[in-house]
Chains A and B, each alone.
Chain A
Amino acid sequence: DSGVTQTPKHLITATGQRVTLRCSPRSGDLSVYWYQQSLDQGLQFLIQYYNGEERAKGNILERFSAQQFPDLHSELNLSSLELGDSALYFCASSVTRQNYGYTFGSGTRLTVV
C-alpha cells in the first residue's frame, strides 16, 4: 500500500456521462498530481494542486476539471465522456513542490462504452 488512495478502482460508464474520481494523498503530502495512462500515449500529466491551489496544467481537456479540498483530498471530474477517454487515471502525491519523485496510487480504470 503506497499510502495514496484512489477510488473507485474500476468504473464502467456510457459515452456522454460524467464521472468523478477521488484521491486521498499520503498523510502529510501537500501536492496532488493527476495523470492519464493509455496504451498508446503512456503517462500524460493532467494537472497539479498544491495545498488547495492549482499549480500546473498539462494536456487536460476542457471537459475535465479537478480540485483539491481543504482536507487535501482531490477529485478529478470527467464529463461528456468519449470512448477515447478510456484509460487508467493515476493520482500521485508528494510532500513538497520539490522534485524528489512522487508516490502513485493504484489508479482508477475507466472504461467508456
Chain B
Amino acid sequence: GDSVTQMEGPVTLSEEAFLTINCTYTATGYPSLFWYVQYPGEGLQLLLKATKADDKGSNKGFEATYRKETTSFHLEKGSVQVSDSAVYFCALTTLRGDSSYKLIFGSGTRLLVRP
C-alpha cells in the first residue's frame, strides 16, 4: 500500500546550520506531497506542498522538491533558527475507493536547534 518513510530523529543542529530531513514515498498514481510542522503544544500546520513532479514547495525558508524519479520529497533549509525546533511530518494524499483523497503521514522527525 501507499506509505511515507522519513528519517528518524531527533535531529539536533546548531543555529544557522543547514537542515535536510529525508522523506521517501510509495504510491500508486500521482500523489500530492506535503510537509506539516507541529510546534510544541500545538496542532499541525501546513508548511509547504507540491502537487506534481518537479514542483518545488517553499515557505519560511524551507524548500522541498517533488522528485518522481527517486520518489522523494526531502525538506531543506539553509540556516535554521531556534524557533524552527518542532516535529516535521512528511505526508501524501492517495486516492481512496470512494474517490476521496486520504492523507498518509510519515512517523515524524523531531528537530532540535540549539543556540
| Same complex | no
Residues on B close to A: CB < 8 A?
none
